[in-house]
């Protein structure tokens, strides 16, 4: 009985955290679960994967068929961008790769270039509107890792973020902070094949 009650409370926290993320009251998983637990006056924190499952369910319930159409559209837009950036080894990551988008999701593409300006120039040459560029430094396991971020507004009003990393700073395949699996993503070739065979496919651990 006690275990059942604990699981119910854990699920309620995951649901509350997912609602906070969906409504954009919170942007980070950690903050959403801490706030949810406080709101519900419980001392139980679900995993990020549990929250992601609830967020996926909420998006499916609220957005229905339009969500599937938008996923296909965003994957198509991602493919177009990646074809433009093919010289920079683009990989589609994030919720558009996973197939778990919701109303505020954007397109996330990882690229490699020693000179980030060349990525920006390639995008501008093909008519993409750059809304912001910025350098970002994060510290992981005591090491500083730099990246260059390019925000692009698309004709559909979706947004894309292209992250540029120096190929000399390549790190071992990272693990996803939400699901815990390896972030493999989709190359241009794999995404092109997916669009022809199964454009709605999800890539989440079962």
**Residue 164 clears pLDDT 70, i.e. is over it:** yes
The rounded distance, in Å, linking the Cα atoms of 18 and 78 is: 26
Mean pLDDT over each residue of the chain, to the nearest integer: 94
pLDDT of res. 3:
61
The pTM (predicted TM-score) of the whole model is: 0.92
pLDDT of res. 1:
39
Find the Cα–Cα–Cα–Cα dihedral 186, 52, 172, 120, rounded to 10°: 50
**Residue 168 clears pLDDT 90, i.e. is over it:** no
The rounded distance, in Å, linking the Cα atoms of 93 and 184 is: 8
Any bridge partners for residue 159, and if so which?
153
The region that residue 185 occupies, defined by phi over 0 for left and psi between -120 and 50 for alpha, beta otherwise, is left
121 secondary structure, DSSP code: H
- Encoded tokens for 122: 């390639």
pLDDT of res. 128:
96
* Percentage of the chain lying above the pLDDT 70 cut: 96
**Residue 37 clears pLDDT 60, i.e. is over it:** yes
Report the half-sphere exposure of 198 (CA within 13 A, side-chain side): 7
pLDDT of res. 178:
95
Summarised one tens digit per residue, pLDDT across range 82-114 is: 999 999 999 999 999 999 999 999 999 999 999
pLDDT band at 171 (very low <50, low <70, confident <90, very high): low
pLDDT of res. 2:
52
Average pLDDT over residues 177-203: 96
Specify burial of residue 118 (Cβ count, 10 A radius: 0-12, 13-18, 19+): middle
pLDDT of res. 169:
79
pLDDT of res. 4:
66
Among 81-90, 143-152, 169-178, which stretch is predicted with the lowest mean pLDDT?
169-178
Q: Hey, which bits of 30-178 come out as E strands?
A: 91-93, 107-112, 129-140, 143-153, 159-165
Domains located in the chain, CATH noted = 2-46 (no CATH), 65-197 (3.30.460.10)
**Residue 19 clears pLDDT 90, i.e. is over it:** yes
């Amino acid at each position: 009985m006690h275990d059942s009650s604990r699981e119910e409370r854990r699920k309620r926290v995951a649901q509350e955290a997912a609602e906070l993320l969906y409504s954009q009251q919170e942007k980070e998983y950690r903050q959403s679960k801490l706030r949810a637990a406080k709101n519900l006056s419980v001392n139980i924190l679900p995993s990020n994967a549990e929250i992601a499952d609830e967020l996926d369910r909420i998006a499916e319930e609220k957005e229905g068929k339009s969500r599937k159409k938008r996923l296909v559209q965003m994957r198509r837009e991602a493919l177009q961008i990646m074809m433009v950036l093919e010289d920079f080894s683009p990989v589609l990551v994030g919720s558009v790769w996973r197939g778990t988008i919701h109303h505020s999701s954007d397109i996330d593409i990882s690229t490699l270039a020693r000179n980030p300006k060349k990525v920006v120039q390639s995008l501008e040459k093909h008519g993409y509107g750059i809304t912001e560029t910025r350098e970002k430094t994060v510290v992981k396991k005591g090491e500083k890792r730099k990246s260059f971020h390019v925000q692009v507004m698309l004709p559909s009003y979706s947004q894309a973020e292209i992250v540029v990393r120096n190929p000399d700073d390549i790190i071992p395949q990272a693990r996803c902070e939400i699901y815990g699996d390896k972030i493999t993503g989709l190359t241009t070739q794999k995404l092109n094949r997916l669009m022809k065979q199964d454009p709605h496919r999800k890539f989440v651990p079962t």
